[in-house]
């Protein structure tokens, strides 16, 4: 199943900067691993915000939930998930 996931990262002003930098590095490594596996198919930055729009290709909503809650920055995220399906007028399948 394909899901569009909109992620906004909200960083508290009192967060420990060094710890947050470690979390970002861990998050980057995890996202690269998921991209290589094909689970995280697309990743786009939202200009002017600490946010992204991503496309995930997973078996079901449960797998997406496990994947998302396992991200190091998940506690700092506001997330919106939209299930996607092929449009009948689309000329491309990917």
What confidence tier does 93 reach under pLDDT thresholds 50, 70, 90? confident
Q: What is the DSSP letter of 36?
A: H
- Whole-number Å distance between alpha carbons of 8 and 79: 6
pLDDT digits (tens, 9 = 90+) for 9-60: 999 999 999 999 999 999 999 999 999 999 999 999 999 999 999 999 999 9
User: What is the bridge-based pairing of β-strands 77-84 and 2-9?
Assistant: antiparallel
Tokens in use for 9? 């990262």
What does 38-57 look like in DSSP terms, one character per residue? TSEEEEEEPTTSSEEEEEEE
Query: Which pLDDT does position 66 carry in this prediction?
Result: 98
Residue 3: CA atoms inside 13 Å, Cβ hemisphere, count?
Answer: 22
**Domains, in order of start, for the chain:** 2-84 (3.30.70.1060)
Query: Which pLDDT does position 63 carry in this prediction?
Result: 98
């Amino acid at each position: 199943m394909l899901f569009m996931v909109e992620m906004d990262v909200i960083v508290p002003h009192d967060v420990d900067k060094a710890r947050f930098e470690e979390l970002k590095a861990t998050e980057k490594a995890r996202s690269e691993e998921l991209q290589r596996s094909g689970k995280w198919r697309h990743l786009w930055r939202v200009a002017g915000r600490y946010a992204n729009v991503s496309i995930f290709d997973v078996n079901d909503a449960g797998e997406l939930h496990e994947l998302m809650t396992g991200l190091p920055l998940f506690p700092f995220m506001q997330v919106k998930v939209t299930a996607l399906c092929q449009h009948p007028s689309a000329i491309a399948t990917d």
